[in-house]
Chain A
Amino acid sequence: MSAVAVDQNLLEAAVGRLAEDGLTALRKKALSNFGKTGFPSLRHEDWRYTNLAAAAELSNSCLSEPSPPAAPGSVDIGQLTAEIDAHWIVVSNGTVIPETLSALQEAGVSITPLSASVNSVEVHIDDPLSSFNASLLSDGLLIRIADNAKVEKPIGFLLLDDAETAAGLSQTRFIIDLGRNASAAFVELHRSSGNNAHFANSVIQIELGTGASADYVRLQERGAGHLQIGRLQALLREGATLNYTSIDVGGKLIRNDVVATIDGAHATANISGIYLADGKQHIDNHILIDHRVGPATSRQNYRGIVGGRARCVFNGKALVREGADGTDAEQSNHNLLLTDTAEIDTKPELVIYADDVKCSHGTTVGQLDKTALFYLQSRGLTLEQAKILLTRAFAGHILRKLPLENVKKYAHQMIDRKLDHLTGDSGQ
């Protein structure tokens, strides 16, 4: 198999077309980083199940054209965001819509374009996709939450990618900095319009100061032609808490990397997610929790429901460094396989260099419990109804812990819509 690589010359030309601003130096550096690696191939351990050839091909074709207009297409943004009460920041094809920024007036929250503040933060460009992102970034956002600020209303990111007229390529970068004891909630909603191919590549960096806490919910329901690669790069200081949940139902090829670095004692990282796939979808979740300091707690809890010819990948890793004593790390990954053409590849890893630790993982791949199905049928449900009920309950384990009521409701609807598809799709 000959892997398709991103054409560095095309990339360089596209980077050159971007206007000179505060990010120019960063783009250059990122471009040179990317030039050394290119996209990782299947030979790379972290990418052995996910082939980026389609992403590279799409990138090449988009890079040779000037970037598409940033205006949102025919989508009614108000309608998309109506169900979740949040300060919505709309990012259309990688460009922040400025009006949605000025509307956000909340005490303790400051939002600046990354091009104006790039020197005050560290921009992550250490992996190929992040450097690809930074080299093509038109602009990003720096969101600072002041010390002790409690942001009442969640901050929403609507990543709206338009693939109505032509294929597209978009880069999104947010850097979120929560001060000491600050708290905030974030909702990242991926929507799309049009059925053309689109490759969205986002990097969210979030730093939680001492005692800070954040809820972060990612809801992804992109169109069938979308490739999306996302990275959440989190740093937790002493006593900080991050609750992250990711829900994937859409897209063609989805890859999420979550890296949570625990840099302070008594920090807690709860990373969870659900993925539902059918058709030829490919959804890959890679989680790394880097315990540098103990005692601290981390939980990884992912569930998947896979039908059609879909393939889902889970790779969870808890890394406990030397001296990170008192670490308590748990991973679980449970999967339901619905069809004989679907595939699950799961790899829950533990890498431990300290002895005073409590680490465990549990993984299962299986079907719905036959006795439970029988019981429900004996209570008058049809087999189909019983299946849907149990599958919903299976997903409910993750949904139940979602932080905000209207987010929870929205997520339930998302899952239900997809389940209708999936269980219909599974045939018998």
Chain B
Amino acid sequence: MSTEANDIDLLVNRRYEHGFVTDIETDSLPPGLDEDVIRAISGRKNEPEFMLEWRLKAYRYWLTQKEPVWSHVSYTPIDYQSISYFSAPKSDADRPKSLDEVDPKLLETYEKLGIPLHERAKLAGVAVDAVFDSVSVATTFKGKLAEAGVIFCPFSEAVIEHPELIKKYLGSVVPYRDNFFASLNSAVFSDGSFVYIPKGVRCPMELSTYFRINAANTGQFERTLIIAEEGSYVSYLEGCTAPMRDENQLHAAVVELIALKDAEIKYSTVQNWYPGDENGKGGIFNFVTKRGDCRGDNSKISWTQVETGSAITWKYPSCILRGDNSVGEFYSVAVTNNMQQADTGTKMIHIGKNTRSTIVSKGISAGKAQNSYRGLVRIMPQATNARNHTQCDSLLIGKQCGAHTFPYIEVRNPTAQVEHEATTSKISADQLFYCRQRGIAEEDAVNMIVNGFCKEVFKELPMEFAVEAQALLNVSLEGAVG
């Protein structure tokens, strides 16, 4: 699976391969945001009253909020009134029941991405809930999942079919008052995925969603909610690509994970949205709130992310370790080049006893990009015997890029053991020299070193994603190292 003879230059100079626009008619609301727009979104989705009320509450709260400025990124202010808050494929009325009914152009899009839906679904045993712009248009393997009692459906469907679960869990991890972008999302979220794993069930397959921003000027506001009941397990895969556009596209998603007693959720992301061109023109603004709540004892939430796209990434997948003996993990590779800016990291809030967390963050910064790790490890007074280990390493490629580390460590319990290490360097001349003198060509040596740098994170990815991550990084991994 490895790609041979790629080097850092290729990585740095690679152009966005997925830059194309699928020409499907979309049914969008005109740009602008007010209570009527929210009512219209809610109305189109035939949402029950409680959902509309929640959206309106969030909107009214959002109006009182100011956009945060603390992150280490800079961009021209977003005009929230110039964004269209809803865009659905035209064929909304009669949504396809199977892949055969899916708009062939959509399938073509996936073909171009190198992820044929059929192939992927059948061969890899992955159910795909494809989010095309804002409305889910294809859901596969529903039957098999239903057999196991797993609910995996578009969020809008869950609102109608399972309102009791939505009422109980929506906003319980990320309240609508959480932050500026979470409030915005709560008000206008379009669609997303809903996953419910019943007690004691190990989800029979890896669940996967392909997000794709397609219509220009349309913000994509997904809402994902995953609930793992007692003793259950689920691995969820999220990947994203977006077509080439010149306007900046706003993306403000919210992901909520809830792991009850003895449950485990593994959430993996490969994010490859359009990063803008070499001069920083265009590209996606990716302002995401992702948070997992280890609500039950012995629960575990693991985040793995490979972030290569977006003009600006502002994302901190976090874990609230509430249950005793619960475990939080965060593995991240963030690559920025050209004019990309990433401010990403995690929060680990230790509340329960014997809670453990691991943070491994690898940042690679090239061109004129700025790459920041920002993380918080907080040990509350009641969290006896909490344990955290954090490692964040940055690799700099080029004279004009930046790599920054902002770790916050707050400890209020004397039995806690917290360790934090960070390094920043360019590719070591010594390592390179050693490889060269063993007869390895320079680019292969660079590949090896970069591979080694990211390996700790890649090994956490499910197989399919590891492959894609390799392709995205454009450097060979295991194949070259042997």
A interface residue numbers (CB < 8 A to B): 45, 322-323, 325, 335, 337-367
Q: Which of A323, A356, A360, A365 contacts B411 (CB 8 A)?
A: A365
Give 23 CB contacts A-B under 8 Å. A325-B399, A335-B411, A337-B414, A337-B416, A339-B414, A340-B413, A343-B412, A345-B409, A345-B410, A347-B409, A348-B420, A355-B398, A355-B426, A356-B426, A357-B424, A358-B425, A360-B423, A361-B405, A361-B420, A363-B409, A363-B419, A364-B417, A366-B417
B binding-site residues for A, Cβ under 8 Å: 70, 379, 381, 394, 396-426
Inter-chain contact A360/B412, CB cutoff 8 Å: no
Q: Are B424 and A364 in contact (CB under 8 A)?
A: no
| A45 surroundings in chain B (CB, below 8 A) | 70
Q: Tell me whether A367 and B414 are in contact in the complex, defined as CB-CB below 8 angstroms, given that A350-B422, A359-B425, A360-B424 are known contacts.
A: yes
Asked if B414 and A357 make an inter-chain contact with CB atoms under 8 angstroms apart, the answer reads: no
CB–CB B421/A360 < 8 A: yes
Contact between B423 and A365, CB atoms less than 8 A apart: no
A204→B414 CA distance, assembly (Å) = 35
Please measure, in the bound complex, the distance between the C-alpha atom of A47 and the C-alpha atom of B379, giving whole angstroms.
20
User: Are the CB atoms of A347 and B416 closer together than 8 Å?
Assistant: no
CB distance from B10 to the nearest CB of A (A): 18
Bound together, the chains give a CA A223 to CA B418 distance in angstroms of 32
List the A side residues contacting B411 at CB < 8 Å.
Answer: 335, 337, 343-346, 365
A415 to B410, CA, bound (A): 25
- Among A346, A350, A362, A367, contact of B403 (Cβ-Cβ < 8 Å): A350
Interface of B is mostly: strand
Residue of B nearest to A314 (CB): B409
**CB-defined contacts of A365 to chain B, threshold 8 Å:** 379, 409, 411, 416-418
CB pair B408 A347 closer than 8 Å: yes
B415 touches A367 (CB 8 A): yes
Determine the distance from Cα of A207 to Cα of B86 in the docked complex, in whole angstroms. Answer: 60
With contacts A340-B413, A346-B409, A348-B407 taken as known, whether A354 is within 8 angstroms of B422 at the C-beta atoms is no
| Residues from chain A with Cβ under 8 Å of B404 in the complex | 349-352
Specify the chain A residue showing the minimal Cβ separation from B379.
Answer: A365
Chain A residues with CB under 8 Å of B403's CB are: 350, 352
Q: Which residue of A lies closest to B417 (CB)?
A: A366
A194 to B74, CA, bound (A): 51
Name the residue among A335, A363, A367 with the largest chain B CB count within 10 angstroms: A363
Given contacts A357-B426, A364-B420, contact A349 B400 (CB under 8 A): no
Given contacts A45-B70, A357-B426, is CB(A349)–CB(B420) below 8 Å?
no
Tell me the smallest distance from the CB of A352 to a CB of chain B, in Å.
5
B residues within 8 A CB of A360? 421-424
- CA A365 – CA B417 in complex, angstroms? 6
Report the nearest B residue to A346, measured CB to CB: B409
**Of all chain B residues, which has the CB nearest A347?**
B408
Supposing A322-B400, A340-B414, A349-B404 touch, asked if A364 and B422 sit within 8 A by C-beta, the answer is no
Chain A: CB-nearest residue to B399:
A355
Q: How far is the CA of A252 from the CA of B417 in the complex (A)?
A: 27
Residues of A within 8 A of B402 (CB): 351-353
Nearest A residue to B422 by beta-carbon distance?
A361
With both chains docked as a complex, state the minimum distance between the C-beta of B366 and any C-beta of chain A, in angstroms.
9
Chain A residues within 8 Å of B409, by CB = 344-347, 363, 365
B399 touches A354 (CB 8 A): yes
- Say whether A364 contacts B418, CB under 8 Å: yes
CB pair A349 B405 closer than 8 Å: yes
Q: How far is the CA of A365 from the CA of B419 in the complex (A)?
A: 7
The interface residues of chain A lying within 8 Å CB-to-CB of B394 are 350, 352
Residue of B379, B400, B420 touching A362 (CB-CB under 8 A): B420
Query: Does A355 contact B419, Cβ atoms closer than 8 Å?
Result: no
CA distance A101 to B396 in the complex (A): 52
CA distance A243 to B202 in the complex (A): 59
- Chain A residue with Cβ nearest B419: A364
Q: Which residues of A contact B401 (CB under 8 A)?
A: 353, 355
A362 to B, closest residue via Cβ: B421
Give bound CA distance, A337 to B409, whole Å.
Answer: 13
Are A366's CB and B407's CB within 8 A?
no
Q: What residues of chain A lie closer than 8 Å to B410, measured between beta carbons?
A: 343-345
Bound together, the chains give a CA A338 to CA B411 distance in angstroms of 11
In the assembled complex, the Cα of A348 lies from the Cα of B286 at a distance in Å of 26
Which B residue's beta carbon lies closest to that of A49? Answer: B410
Nearest-Cβ distance from residue A401 to partner chain B, whole angstroms: 22
Residue of B nearest to A366 (CB): B417
Chain A contacts for B414, CB-based, 8 A: 337-340, 342, 367
Please report the C-alpha to C-alpha distance between residue A366 and residue B420 in the assembled complex, in whole angstroms: 12
A354: which B residues are within 8 A, CB to CB? Answer: 396, 399
Q: Which residues of B contact A343 (CB under 8 A)?
A: 410-412
**3 nearest CB pairs, A to B:** A355-B396, A363-B420, A337-B414
CB contact between A355 and one of B397, B415, B417 (< 8 Å): that residue: B397
